Every structure is written in structure tokens, then in C-alpha cells.
Amino acid sequence: MTGTIPSGGSGENIGHVVFVAAAAAVGGFLFGYDSAVINGAVTGIRRYFEVGPVQIGLVVAVALLGSAVGAWIAGGLADRWGRTRTMQVAASLFAISSVGQALPLAIWDLGFWRVLAGVGIGMASVTGPAYIAEVAPPAYRGRLGSFQQLAIVLGIAVSQLVNYVIAERAGGNVNNRLLGLEAWQWMLGACVLPALLYLLFATIIPESPRFLIAVGKLAAAREVLAEVEGEEGDLDTRIAEIEVLLRGERRPRLRDLRGPRLGLLPIVWIGVLLSVFQQFVGINVIFYYSASLWQSVGINQSDSLLISFSTSIINIVGTFIAIALVDRIGRRPLLLIGSAGMAVALATAAWAFAAGFRSGGAVRLPAAQGAIALVAANVFVLFYALSWGVVVWVLLGEIFPNRIRAVALSVAAAAQWVANWLITVSFPALSAWNLSGAYMGYACFAALSFVFVLFKVRESKGRRLEEMG
């Protein structure tokens, strides 16, 4: 029966599905933008509120707890309200929180708005990949699923560039005033613009055909399938195939994920561990704290922001490499290449930071080790971007069986946010204690991720979603 289902589609159909996938991936742009915008604002927040590293770590990381909550509830909301409506709610939450972050009354108030922003981002992080996987033709699903990570890295790069421009307009100091607010407040407030763009796109893209079939809107589902897969195939057979699967299912619940291994199904554990390893290699240390890290080794504020922007460009280059390769060589080879490259780069950075010495209350590096640390950090970002950055989002959108996809993706994404929080909240204290040891720990997790992929992750390239599980 599946032999009559189109695997690709005409150029016109592919152009339309590319637009739809890109629009859904704007939620990833918000993720990236919010992740990195705090990088430029950290120094300003610390000075404005006169707080130490522990408080700064909590304020930076608290958004991730909100993201874990948003990811946890997103699957149920997406199954109840639909994918696009859930995206609209996520965009609205992020827009409101952006204004609140720009005008905080106190450090606790800033933390509240960052939690609200995190909820919106967490919802988008689940809904976007699931939606893209459900509208993408199988032959293009890997590349279209990569849009999520591409949007994340573009968001990171744009926020770093915006931070740099705002800092320069404020005279190179993020605590200087610009049009009545300090520069760091403008950095956080600028997040409202991509949030409104996401809200616009979420109102014009079509609903997922699988959700439409699930709620009995077969005519609407047929229209969407014709748009994204083409009309040359047998759409009635395609709809019937999805209906058969859905009839044997009910709305997934958390208890549906229960299994014999530590309480969860093996495939759910694979998704959770993919998410955890993606964060435990320490990637967001680079995007949350790199500006203050480079300042600590003697680079001024403006130049540190420019270095962070350069790192974001490397991140984009690596992401394009992954998009070009993910449907050609497959998911597992890219993950293995990335794990090996990250482990070597992180170990090299750890060696360089071991030469650090304290001077004037800050860590300083000899010139040679400083250059090596900078190169190693960028090599790490490159290997992460061409592998784990893209491939994990692709796999999370496609490895779970239809009957549990939404809720399993919510659990895996929530685990990702919790892991992200643990790394983010712990780094300021760890770096103050032993910066080299922190990076060696991340190198060990990169090595462990290689072993995990080698023995536990199966290839999913070219398989239909209905074949999973």
C-alpha cells in the first residue's frame, strides 16, 4: 500500500514545504536568540543589580527551568489545540516576556520574566520539530528537520550582532545609557521583534495533516497533503494509511511511556539521553558566558562580543554542513564524527585553561595558551554544529512511534532543558573553582556520547514516520 505514496513532490510543492518548515522553525530562532542575547547582557545585569556569580548563574539559567516546563506541557497542548495554535501561544508568551525583561524592577523580577520566556521557548522547541517532521516528505525530512537547528544558530548569530551594535552605540559599555535605558536592557527588549515574526508565521502556515486527520478534518488534511507532498500520488491511500494508525491509538499520556528499563520504554531513554548528551558537552557555556569568559582573559567588552559573533558564524557554517550531509551519509555517522571532534577540542581547551593564573581578581592566560583556547573553542563549536546540534533535533522529531511521538518528544525536550539548566547554573561556580576541570568534564561527556551512539542509536534516514517503532 505504501508503494503509491509520493516520497518527494514537484518543485512547487517542495518550495511550499520549505517555506512552511522555515516558518515553523522560527521558534528555534527564538531559542537561539534568547540563549545568546543574555551573553552580552550578563556583565550589565551583574553591575546594575550588584550581584555575584551565583545569582548571575541562577538568573541566566532560570529561563531553562521555564523551558523544561514549556517542553513538558507542549506535547499535550499540541495534541489538544493543534500544532499551529500551540506555536501562537508560545510566540505570545515570548513577546510579553521580552518587554518585561527590558524593564525589570529587581533581579527577582528579571528572573520571573526569563522563566516566562523559557516556557514559550520550551513549547516552541517541542512543537516545531514535531510539526516539521509531520509535514515533510520522507526524502527531505532530514534536511527540513535541520531547519530547527539552523534557525537556532541564526538566532544566536543575530543576537550576538545586535548585542555588538547596541554596545558600540552605547560607547562600548553595556551599562551606559541609550535612549533612556541601559544598553543591556535594549539587548533583552529586542527579543520582541522575532517573537512577533513567529506569531505572524504561526497564523499563516497550515495545520499538521496528521492532527487534522486525528480530529476528523479530512478535507483540510487532504489539502495540506496535496500542498506538501504533491497531488500525483494517491492521497486517499495516504489519508487511509494515517487513519488506520490513528484509529488504533488514543491520545498519548505519560503512562504510555512506561517500560521495563528504569520506568521508561527503551526508545524514550534513547531520546532522553540524546538530549542530555547534547547539553552535557557544554555547548551553551560558549553561548551564555563566552563574552564574560573572554573578558576574564584580558579582552575588552566590545571585542569579546565580536569574538562571540565570529563563533556564531562558525556555528552557522557547521549547521549548513550538517544540512548538506544528514540525508546523504545519515544521522549516526554525523553524531560519531561530532563526538570525536568535540572530545579532542574540549580536551585541548582544558589543557590551555590549565595554564591560567589569577591577576587582578580575574583568570589570565599566557598568549600562546589564550590563542589555543580560542581556536579549540571554535573547533568545538564547529564539530557540535555539524553533528549533535542538528542531528539530535532531527532524531527527536522522527525516532518515536506515532502513538507516543508528541508526549515522548515533550519528555526528551524537557530533559534537554533540565540538562541545559544544570550546565548553565553550575558553570560560573565551576569556572571560579577550576576552569580547566570544567572543560575536561565536558570532554568526558563528549567521549561518552560517542560510545552511546555507537551502541544504542539506530539509523532513521529515509524511513517514513509511520514505520518508526
pLDDT digits (tens, 9 = 90+) for 362-386: 666 677 777 788 889 889 999 999 9
CA neighbor of 124 nearest in space, from 27, 195, 204, 30? 27
How far apart are alpha carbons 402 and 466 in whole angstroms? 6
Q: Report helix, strand or coil for 362.
A: strand
As given in the structure block, the three cell numbers for residue 67 are 523551558
Distance, C-alpha 335 to centroid of its chain = 16
pLDDT-derived band at 6, boundaries 50, 70, 90: very low
Across the range 356-366, mean pLDDT stands at 64
How far apart are alpha carbons 391 and 399 in whole angstroms? 11
Across the range 69-87, mean pLDDT stands at 86
Higher pLDDT, 269 or 338: 338
Q: What is the pLDDT of residue 156?
A: 81
How far apart are alpha carbons 455 and 171 in whole angstroms? 53
Across the range 138-144, mean pLDDT stands at 72
Report whether pLDDT(7) > 50: no
Across the range 401-410, mean pLDDT stands at 74
Report whether pLDDT(130) > 50: yes
Average pLDDT, rounded, for the chain: 80
CA neighbor of 62 nearest in space, from 112, 19, 28, 7? 112
Report whether pLDDT(254) > 60: no
Main-chain dihedrals φ then ψ at residue 278, nearest 5 degrees = -60, -35
Q: What is the pLDDT of residue 5?
A: 33
Q: What is the pLDDT of residue 460?
A: 66
Q: What is the pLDDT of residue 323?
A: 82
List the single range of 91-105, 286-300, 318-332 with lowest mean pLDDT.
Answer: 286-300
Residue with cell string 526508545:
267
Q: What is the pLDDT of residue 431?
A: 73
Residue with cell string 555575584:
52
Report whether pLDDT(408) > 60: yes
Write the CB contacts of 34 (distance below 8 Å, at least 6 apart in sequence). Answer: 63, 94, 117, 118, 121, 155, 159, 191
Main-chain dihedrals φ then ψ at residue 217, nearest 5 degrees = -95, 70
Q: What is the pLDDT of residue 53?
A: 72
Q: Give the tens place of pLDDT for each residue, 207-237.
A: 888 888 887 888 888 887 777 766 666 677 7
Report whether pLDDT(467) > 60: no
| Cα angle: 368, vertex 307, 122; to 5 degrees | 125
As given in the structure block, the three cell numbers for residue 156 are 544566536
Report whether pLDDT(263) > 70: no
Main-chain dihedrals φ then ψ at residue 286, nearest 5 degrees = -65, -45
List the single range of 22-31, 337-346, 401-410 with lowest mean pLDDT.
Answer: 401-410
Instruction: Label residues 328-362 b or e (16+ Cβ within 10 Å = b).
Output: eebbbbbbbbbbbbbbbbbbbbbbbbeebeeeeee
